Chain A
Amino acid sequence: MCSGRISPHFILKAFQEGADGVLVAGCHIGECHYGKGNFITAKRVAVMKELIQFIGLSPKRLRLEWIATSEGNKFAKVVSDFTEEMVQLGPSFLRPKKIAKFDTGKKMEGSLEARR
């Protein structure tokens, strides 16, 4: 599948369902398996970032990365960095207030441990 398949509407739906962050990863520019798919991904994500910033969601919550299939380590690093960044930013304003499993009644702190 190509990152060009990621419709910006999917990104919006993810945010609406309460996602704190959305990471879009595709092949490097010039190395798209389908030719030019990632060209349009770059343009779409750029427009989406401006749009969500205008609404009041931080543009850092949407991230685009070029990761080749063989770059396993890079993928792992990007995911952990992104997760940590989202923890620092805090829950998205669209997150439903009550999440049955995790609602311990305790005040939410910034780090991952307090949320577990």
Chain B
Amino acid sequence: MLEGKEVSAILALRRDNGHPIPFLFTKAEELMDCVADEANRYPLTKILIKLAKKHPNETIGIVVRGCEERSLRELLKNIQLRQGKVKPIGIACSQELANRCRCTLPFPSQVEEGELAKPVEDFSDLEEIEKLPEDERFQYWMKQFGKCIKCYGCRNICPACFCPTCTLEDANLIKPGGMPPEIPIFHLHKAYHMADRCIDCGLCEEACPMGIPVRRLYRKVKKSVKDLFGYVPGEKEEEKGPLEFLGDGSYELPGAGK
């Protein structure tokens, strides 16, 4: 693809002294170092937004797994990337990676390399929380949120988070200062935003230095949106999330009043 001048560069991981790090390949020979199926994942689509912003006329290829392709679709919907300027090159994840990530779709729509793994439908982490009675549940979450050091890692690394002014930094919604920040709403603000944007890649939980199980929160809201509105982020290219537009009134709270 590089030789055919179809794209000016390809964004992928490269092994640098044994460490896979993001790199923009501009010469075909460099691609020898390219690493694919790797347990260390980086938000390549987020890096792509920065590149596209500075160089809007370049067409850039990007090596995508299943989750990254979902992220690409979401970003294209939100006009963070332009349709003709991104060329995805699909690779499939291995079965053990799919199991580790609990991925519901470990391969993109067009796969150039790799065998398709079986999707993992496992909601046991949500059921574990929902089994607990209310006050225990609250204690559990406050204990987890109390570990937060407000590093904004979950937001910085999330491929679906791209807003220049973030709700989490708004002084009217969350009191600035203080460690931990105002809990539980610090995490709930982001969780609500993730309701129709989360692609369930799991980077947030891996980026949290304190080990807070934020991914469970976002999976729960994602599941609620799927059950209530039948919408899964990143699945279809043209469908907009239910919370992004006013709607046609076809959804009404059952017996609005309870």
Do A's and B's CB atoms come within 8 Å in the complex? yes
Q: What is the interface of chain A, defined by CB distance below 8 A to chain B? A: 4, 8-9, 12-13, 15-16, 29-30, 35-37, 39-40, 42-48, 50-52, 54-58, 60, 63-66, 78, 93-94
Q: How many residues on B have C-beta within 8 angstroms of the other chain's C-beta atoms? A: 41
Binding stretch for chain A, among B93-101, B116-124, B250-258? B250-258
Residue on A nearest B228 in the bound complex, by CB? A46
Q: Which residues of B contact A13 (CB under 8 A)?
A: 173, 185
Minimal beta-carbon separation of B241 from chain A (angstroms): 10
Judged by DSSP, the binding face of B is: helix
With A47-B225, A93-B135 as contacts: A37 and B217 at CB distance below 8 Å: no
Q: Which residues of B contact A9 (CB under 8 A)?
A: 167, 173, 189, 192
6 A/B residue pairs, CB under 8 Å, sorted by A: A8-B192, A40-B245, A43-B228, A45-B253, A54-B220, A57-B138
The total number of A-B Cβ pairs within 8 Å is 108
Q: What is the interface of chain B, defined by CB distance below 8 A to chain A? A: 129-130, 134-142, 167, 173, 182, 184-185, 188-189, 191-192, 195, 217, 220-221, 224-225, 228-229, 242-243, 245-249, 251-253, 256-258
- CA gap between A94 and B188 in the complex, in Å: 14
Q: Which residues of A contact B249 (CB under 8 A)?
A: 29-30, 36, 39
Contact of B253 among A42, A60, A93 (CB under 8 A): A42
